[in-house]
């Protein structure tokens, strides 16, 4: 009886923990695409109260590319987590801008998402065939972040999305909420095949180049 009690209290939890860890698939290369919507919660029941678009994230080792597209603009961010440098390619109203970011610029731009601690809940659901757990966090400005994430896929590069640096898994659905807006993302595609290196090429022409400081003045 004592041996059985010891197994139930001490060894059985470790057994299930080892199963969970072995089920994880750590990946160095990944493509994940989301559909997103930005909703004005003050006019939620009115027509044309939201903006819809897509967000595709490519991960290849220390390189990350995030592409956002909506009817109003397109924007791509290419980030090298080894050097800390980034480039933003933005097209708005016919203007094509290439913005250079130093490591300090990158840190400043993502400061609102520093130190998010997630509180895990007992809620879960299946998204795109993956079992996802629910967690809730808050940014330094008080914006609430509700996320459903899977531990079946874990990107090796934790810098692929500054919001989820402290999350041990891949978010498949999440919402950012403040007093006025709700931004909702839901996955529509996951691809574990190798990512083309050309995705991270920086254009040498066709864009007006500027520094991060210059772009802040626009």
Q: At residue 23, what are phi and psi to the nearest 5 degrees? A: -75, -20
Total-model pTM: 0.84
Measure CA 99 to chain center. Answer: 21
Residue 163 lies in a domain: yes
Joined tokens for residue 77: 């961010």
Q: Are strands 208-211 and 95-101 parallel, antiparallel or unpaired?
A: parallel
Residue 11 lies in a domain: no
Residue 9 lies in a domain: no
| Spatial CA neighbour of 99 closest among 38, 109, 31 | 109
Residue 111 lies in a domain: yes
pLDDT of residue 44: 58
Joined tokens for residue 70: 């909506």
pLDDT of residue 3: 42
The residue range of the domain holding 112 is 24-216
Residue 15 lies in a domain: no
What are the C-alpha distances in Å from 124 to residues 151, 153, 173, 203? 12, 16, 12, 42
pLDDT of residue 43: 66
b/e burial code for range 7-18 (CB count within 10 A of at least 16 → b): eeeeeeeeeeee
pLDDT of residue 36: 94
**DSSP conformation letters of 128-174:** TTEEEEEEEEE-TT--EEEEEEESSEEES-TTS-GGGTT-SSEEEEE
Residue 4 lies in a domain: no
How many folded domains does the chain comprise? 1
Q: At residue 198, what are phi and psi to the nearest 5 degrees? A: -65, -15
Helix (H, G, I), strand (E, B) or coil at 65: strand
Query: Which CATH number does the domain housing residue 71 bear?
Result: 2.50.20.10
User: Alpha-carbon distance 147 to 169, whole Å?
Assistant: 11
Residue 12 lies in a domain: no
Each residue's pLDDT tens digit in the chain (218 positions)? 444 333 333 434 443 333 344 456 899 999 999 999 988 877 655 555 678 999 999 999 999 999 999 888 899 999 999 999 999 999 988 889 999 999 999 999 999 898 898 999 999 999 999 999 999 999 888 889 999 999 999 999 999 999 999 998 999 999 998 878 899 999 999 999 999 999 999 999 999 999 999 888 87
User: Alpha-carbon distance 138 to 119, whole Å?
Assistant: 9
pLDDT of residue 180: 81
Residue 167 lies in a domain: yes
* Start-to-end CA span in the chain (Å): 73
């Amino acid at each position: 009886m004592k041996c059985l009690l010891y197994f139930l209290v001490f060894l059985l939890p470790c057994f299930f923990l080892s199963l969970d860890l072995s089920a994880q698939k750590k990946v160095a290369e990944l493509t994940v695409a989301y559909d997103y919507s930005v909703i004005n919660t003050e006019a939620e029941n009115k027509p044309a109260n939201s903006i819809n678009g897509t967000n595709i994230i490519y991960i290849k080792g220390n390189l990350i590319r995030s592409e956002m597209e909506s009817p109003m603009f397109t924007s791509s961010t290419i980030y090298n987590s080894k050097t800390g440098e980034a480039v933003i390619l933005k097209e708005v109203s016919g203007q094509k801008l290439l913005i250079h970011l130093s490591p300090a610029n990158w840190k400043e731009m993502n400061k609102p998402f520093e130190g998010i601690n997630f509180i895990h809940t007992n809620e879960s659901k299946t998204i795109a065939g993956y079992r996802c757990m629910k967690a809730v966090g808050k940014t330094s400005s008080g914006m609430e972040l509700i996320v459903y994430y899977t531990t079946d896929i874990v990107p090796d590069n934790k810098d692929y999305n500054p919001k989820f640096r402290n999350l041990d898994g891949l978010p498949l659905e999440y919402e950012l909420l403040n007093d006025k807006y709700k931004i909702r993302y839901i996955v529509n595609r996951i691809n574990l095949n190798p990512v083309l290196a050309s995705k991270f090429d920086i254009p040498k022409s066709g864009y007006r180049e500027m520094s991060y400081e210059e772009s802040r003045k626009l």
